[in-house]
Amino acid sequence: MTFAIRPILLVAGLLLSLVLLFAATGTILPLDQWNWMDIAGEGGTALLAAVWCLIVLNSRPDGRVTRLLAGGLACIMLGSWADCLDEAIDIDKRHLWDNALESLLPLGMLVLTVGLYYWRLEQALLSDHMRKRERLFRSHRPFDRITQLADAAYLREQLRLEIRRDDGAPCALVLFDIDGFHRINREHGHVEGDRVLQAVAHMLLLNLRNEDLLCRYAGDRFAVLMPGLEIDAAADAARHLCGMVSRMRHHAPGGPVAITLRHGCAPTGGAPDALLADLCRRMDAA
């Protein structure tokens, strides 16, 4: 992970200015009065909170949830840092700002909690959005960067699960190819090709049942796993999906591009690799 330099400078600046403030207003205690355990504990908390704050700032886009999480962690960091400095520098108890600084710790925890609450709501929305893309469980690695769909490795995993479950319920696998996709890439450039892939992925997602799983197999080939469907019903659903995509209008900079799909389907069963190779052979012949 690469860190942006600004938040790092900001956090370091805050920590340093607190040290300067303490040094300017208080008296440094003799070394034998320092409680090293407390200093290590509170200082460590402050530094780790600083790292968490930077991770949050660097891994999320700006927004309410990000600000609450980062703000909460920053408060915890400052509160603990003030606690830690208190161990080494004596501040006159009449100074209210010292107490205020230490109370940042519970305040930070409160803000962090609120942030986590909103984060939970945000996750619920995202999970809903991702349902048709990931099905039964979440695993973060196997996602295609262009379409944000699961990739072939995830599809094989799901096929294996489907075989292992083997509860007698039917299940079908459908592959889709974009007709003449290589021509779109050649004539409009592969960046436009990527946009076509994204558009087709969206159109397919909108027309799937909740229990279906859409993957990008590779290139312009998509795969849909349709649990609970007999082969005829799956072929019917596939024809409907092809129809929906063909009615879609894709606008490239050079004018509209007609997009049509062809499909092949088979009931799931047997080794995933053999099933996929067989279906791919039929797609090539089509």
Between 237 and 276, whose beta carbon lies closer to another protein?
A: 276
Q: How far is the CB of 82 from another protein (least distance, A)?
A: 41
What are the tokens at 146?
């262009």
The answer to whether residue 93 forms part of the interface with another protein (CB under 8 A) is no
Selected from 64, 95, 129, 186, the binder of another protein by CB under 8 A is 186
Q: How far is the CB of 273 from another protein (least distance, A)?
A: 8
Give the range of 32-40, 160-168, 184-192, 241-249 binding another protein by CB under 8 A. Answer: 184-192
The answer to whether residue 185 forms part of the interface with another protein (CB under 8 A) is yes
Site for another protein in 248-277 (CB under 8 A): 273, 276-277
Selected from 120, 190, 240, 262, the binder of another protein by CB under 8 A is 190
Give the range of 65-73, 108-116, 124-132, 278-286 binding another protein by CB under 8 A. Answer: 278-286
Between 162 and 220, whose beta carbon lies closer to another protein?
A: 220
The site for another protein (CB under 8 A) is made up of: 145, 152-153, 156, 182-183, 185-186, 190-191, 217-221, 273, 276-277, 280-281, 283-284
